[in-house]
Amino acid sequence: MVHAATGPAKLWVVNASNHRFSGNTAEFDRRLIEAIEWAVQNRRRYNIRIINLSLGHAVTEPSTTDPLCQAVERAVAAGITVVVSAGNYGVTSAGAPVLGGITSPGNSPAALTVGAIDTKGTLDTSDDEVAPYSSKGPARYEIVVKPDVVAPGTKIVSLEAQNSYLSTTYPQWHIAGSGKNAYMRLTGTSMATAVVSGGVALLLNAQPSLNPMQVKISMQMGARFMPDAGLVGGGTGSVNFAQSQKIAKQGLINALLSTVTSLLGVSSGATFLDRPLNGAGTLIDRVYDRTGIKLLGLLDLSILFGSDMEPGVLNLLGSSNPMGRTAANYLVWGNVAGWSSSYYLVWGNTIQSPSGQYLVWGNNEYTDGNYLVWGNTVGGGQ
């Protein structure tokens, strides 16, 4: 995606693969990395500000050694916001909830990783929920908190590419029109990711000076926290692009608004970056011992926008921010925390949902082979 600061956004489609590479992860990654590198090399020529990656595969190694995640890191370092889907592995085929199902390269700390919500087809946000299929964190191996935000991804109607693979393979998804004016309905975090990429384009149109980290701060702080899902299920919450623009403007211009309340509304006012330290993320541990929760005032917001964000810290705008008063286990895990009497959720086969289902992780592409509940250390069950 190309953002033009003085006009409408332009789209550049870089063909990284097609269905012939299905199942060949190494070849797919190679082609995708080449496409990302093309965008980096041509970012100034075409004013490329955003890369949308509505794709992913199982995490097989830490993000620090994953070549696909490394390509995302390079793109972000070059000034491109990379928006990536979290994956659609939130439940098993039997309906059991899964923790740790984030896919690559959504596990990259540099990516703006997007999960999906189900709006139930209404404009009223009170019935919104993180979609069960949406992959939950933390990311495998490094235990970093993901996703960053969530957005509408269930039953999304959009343009249908004539004679495309999806159009010809799944004709039942077609809902209206024909030829170049056809529409189809799709569900998944891929759709949610495209929604956020469009919102980032709007944000950059309003504030073209923003760098990728400032974009992430704006998107996270403007979102509405989903307490039932917690940080590992919904990040800082459901995106609100108007609020993100307001927060970005406040962060760039001191004293624009007089109070935190007039700025936040129902927004979470929360932002975080969980980058591995000594092989593991630190945010979950630091939220539990409260050293990783920092309350910010309006002046602090401007400072945050002007410097690198400290990894492993949940930054909360406002001294009375309700997320700062939420019990750590519920803040991190959402309602899943209620399934265990343990303060930490740990590896094992003893944690069950109220209906008796185990939270599971499989040995091979999310099969049901082993029980797993992610905790603060990696060990067992792999």
Q: Which of 56, 108, 62 is nearest to 87 (CA)?
A: 56
The domain made up of 19-153+188-371 has a fold known as Rossmann fold (3.40.50)
- The span from the CA of 78 to the CA of 61, in Å, is 24
Q: Where are the beta strands (DSSP E) in 119-264?
A: 129-130, 149-152, 156-159, 174-176, 183-186
281 vs 42, 109, 277, 302, CA distance in Å?
A: 33, 10, 6, 26
Q: Which two tokens stand for residue 110?
A: 């540099």
Contact assessment for residue 361 and residue 100, using Cβ atoms and an 8 Å cutoff: yes
pLDDT at residue number 195: 97
For residues 56 and 40, what is the distance between their CA atoms, to the nearest angstrom? 20
Give the Cα separation of 283 and 118 in Å (integer). Answer: 27
Strands (E), the chain: 50-53, 81-85, 112-118, 129-130, 149-152, 156-159, 174-176, 183-186, 270-273, 293-296, 313-317, 360-361, 370-371
Angstrom distances, CA of residue 135 to CA of 216, 234, 235, 314: 19, 9, 11, 21
β-bridge partners, 238: 150, 224
Backbone phi and psi for residue 293, each to the nearest 5 degrees, phi listed first: -115, 120
This prediction has a pTM of: 0.89
Handedness of CA 321, 322, 328, 329 (dihedral sign): negative
> d(Cα 282, Cα 276) in Å, to the nearest integer?
7
- Residue 348 is predicted with a pLDDT of 46
Find out whether 128 and 234 touch, Cβ atoms under 8 Å: no
pLDDT of residue 173: 92
* pLDDT of amino acid 206: 93
- Average pLDDT across each block of 10 residues of the chain; the chain has 382 residues. List them in order: 58 73 74 95 96 93 96 98 96 80 96 97 91 93 94 94 88 92 94 97 95 97 96 97 93 70 86 92 92 92 89 94 93 86 56 59 39 39 30
User: How high is the pLDDT of residue 280?
Assistant: 86
